[in-house]
């Protein structure tokens, strides 16, 4: 999967970025007003666009582009020796608890290459942004496993979090 970040100001500009994808591209407006995310399977990012190439590690629930109007993208760096532990926590505890919330439709855990450690990207599909304030999310962050991970300086607070709302899906011809 490719995650393109652009400072485009409007949907038409984000769609022009999406035209560089091959196949379908999803345009998502960042809730913080800092531009757009474009999600696609392949393509060549235009100049000025920050590209992240990531491989799916695991996922659960509905992760299709139409699963929910909201995407919650979390960037997670871990030391290499904690990578498997983080994946196990997501797969066995955190993800399943989140999916108990009806508005939490699905999630994927992706990994991209970095010089040191592990760089993960959790891509959550939400039907309503209120899922972020749900009892299930609070419960998923109040377990002994979460506390064990949270004892590390790299865990939780340094994570990059982006909430974005889907504006359009663009069908792009093969280039």
Q: How confident is the model at residue 65 (pLDDT cuts 50, 70, 90)?
A: confident
Which domains occur in the chain, in start order? 2-172 (3.30.70.100)
Residues shown for the chain: 175
Widest Cα–Cα separation across the chain: 49
Q: How confident is the model at residue 41 (pLDDT cuts 50, 70, 90)?
A: very high
* Distance of alpha carbon 91 from alpha carbon 106, whole angstroms: 12
What pLDDT digit, counting tens, does each position of 83-110 carry? Answer: 999 999 999 999 999 999 999 999 999 9
DSSP string of 13-30, one letter each residue: HHHHHHTTEEEEEEEEEE
Query: What's the mean pLDDT in 54-83?
Result: 95
Q: Are 62 and 106 in contact (CB under 8 A)?
A: yes
What pLDDT digit, counting tens, does each position of 113-169 carry? Answer: 999 999 999 999 999 999 999 999 999 999 999 999 999 999 999 999 999 999 988
* Distance of alpha carbon 110 from alpha carbon 87, whole angstroms: 10
- Residue 94: the pLDDT is 98
18 closest CA partner among 77, 65, 82, 57: 65
Separation of CA 88 from chain center: 18
- Taking the whole predicted model, whether its pTM rises above 0.75 is answered as yes
């Amino acid at each position: 999967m490719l995650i393109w970040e652009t400072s485009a100001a409007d949907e038409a500009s984000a769609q022009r970025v999406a035209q560089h994808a091959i196949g379908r591209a999803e345009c998502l407006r960042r809730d913080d007003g800092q531009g757009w995310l474009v999600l696609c399977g392949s393509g060549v990012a235009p100049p000025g666009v920050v590209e992240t190439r990531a491989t799916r590690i695991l996922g659960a629930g509905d992760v299709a582009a139409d699963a929910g109007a909201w995407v919650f993208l979390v960037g997670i760096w871990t030391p290499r020796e904690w990578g498997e532990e983080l994946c196990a926590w997501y797969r066995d505890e955190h993800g399943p608890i989140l999916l108990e919330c009806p508005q939490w439709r699905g999630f994927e855990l992706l990994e991209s290459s970095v010089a040191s450690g592990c760089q993960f990207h959790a891509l959550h599909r939400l039907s309503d942004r209120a899922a972020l304030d749900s009892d299930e999310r609070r419960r998923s962050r109040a377990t002994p496993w979460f506390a064990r991970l949270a004892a590390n300086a790299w865990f939780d607070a340094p994570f990059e979090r982006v909430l974005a709302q889907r504006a359009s899906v663009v069908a792009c011809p093969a280039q």
